[in-house]
Structure 1
Amino acid sequence: MNRQLYTVASNIEEAQLFFESGVNLVQLRNKELSEQELLVVAKQVVELSHKYKSSQIIINDNIDIALKSKAYGVHLGQDDGDIPYLCKSYGKELVIGVSVDNVEEAREAESWGAHYIGAGAVFGSLTKPEAPHIGLATLKDICKSVQVPVSAIGGIKLSLLNKVLEAGAQYICVISDINQSTNRKLQIREYLNQIRKNNESL
């Protein structure tokens, strides 16, 4: 499977920028919106995504919003409900990702039916400073321990991208290093170019 870039948007404007830039997976995450407001934005973003063949929308945390907006998938943390039940009940309707920070959790999530594993924070995270810092060695162990794709997240920068790819991650989730860039489209292009070169070498 080709490696893919994964980003996080908080509104439709950010999502559109990511779509236009060629990002494959875009997670919609906005903790400040009410559920009703989030549903409105989610529906708009999902509709917009249909104009871009290679882009898909993942909803953060909220499986109801993912279902009602007809999103591609949902990403769940360890505390986001009864994950085995959600995977069994909705795994045919949605791609379900589950956050983990060790091999045991990764294997467990895969056994529940998760379609991909979110592993991190790899290098520490500005977005979630309280998240454990798992490092490249644990990321590599997680990638080896499961058959489903692993999404690496947390403190990833262009200078570290090749090491993350070498560890076996198939989805590269980048937030701060893109959102804090003075030219986000250019920064995304740099990531996509490095990922493309890696894919060509496989």
Structure 2
Amino acid sequence: MAELYGFASNLEEAQMLMAAGVSVIQYRNKGQDHDSLVSTVKKIMTHSHSYPHVQIIVNDSLEAALESAAHGVHLGQDDGDYKSICKQYAQKLMIGVSVDTVQEAIEAEQAGAHSIGAGAVFGSLTKPEAPHMGVPLLKEICRSVSVPVSAIGGITLENLDEVMQAGASYICVISDIMGRDEPELRIQEYLKKLEEG
């Protein structure tokens, strides 16, 4: 069964996602300085002890992930040399790597990445400049690697079936949850649909 992957930009959002039953939470706040970032993730990690099934992933910053004792880090193609980071830290941290192509996915898996982030699958409100990958390419990426693939970008309840059928292990949703007046209710709708498979 695919799992729901949420995104938080502050402690309160992370707490809400945990309480609502989200399995993986990526902390992403590009406007935060390093010390503040580490401090927030440490608080999230402390809170996560009440939710042993939840994994906390830090976006972009290996240093912040290590200093805050987060479960993992997610890196883009431009976030340092991810291949050497995988080599050095794969035993310590879960490492996810963003990809746009099948070749990048294969290279990331060979380098030791634990998961692949594939997108934007559809149009993304949070990254409008990101090119659209489409479901056929997502499917190809899922078939080309044995590590879990996280699908991201413009995913809604309406197109969720397509994404699940493509073989994604994690369903990353930002706008369709965090942009709602009652995000907890939307999360329950996602979890129900994921459970039905």
8 Å contact kept, 1:22–1:54: no
Partner residue, 1:162: 161
Partner residue, 2:95: 96
Whole-angstrom distance in 1 between the partners of 2:33 and 2:159:
36
Could you list the structure 1 runs, at least 4 aligned residues long, displaced by more than 2 angstroms after superposition: none
Residue identity in the other structure for 2:23: N
Written as runs of structure 1 = structure 2, the 5 A alignment for 1:33-112 is: 33-112=32-111
Whole-angstrom distance in 1 between the partners of 2:144 and 2:164:
16
CA shift for structure 1 position 3:
1.3
CA shift for structure 1 position 56:
1.1
Whole-angstrom distance in 1 between the partners of 2:125 and 2:20:
23
Residue identity in the other structure for 1:13: E
TM-score by length of 1: 0.96
TM-score by length of 2: 0.99
Whole-angstrom distance in 2 between the partners of 1:131 and 1:92:
31
Question: Once the two structures are superposed, what CA deviation does each residue of 1:89-128 show, in whole Å capped at 9, x if it has no partner?
Answer: 0000000000001101000100100000000000021111
Partner residue, 1:28: 27
Q: How many pairs does the alignment contain?
A: 197
Identity %: 56
**Structure 1: segments with no counterpart, 5+ residues:** none
Residue identity in the other structure for 2:50: K
Question: Once the two structures are superposed, what CA deviation does each residue of 1:13-67 show, in whole Å capped at 9, x if it has no partner?
Answer: 0000000000000000001110011010010011111111221100000011101
Whole-angstrom distance in 1 between the partners of 2:52 and 2:17:
13
Partner of 1:159, secondary structure, is coil
Partner residue, 1:133: 132
Partner residue, 2:151: 152
Residue identity in the other structure for 1:20: A
Whole-angstrom distance in 1 between the partners of 2:37 and 2:146:
33
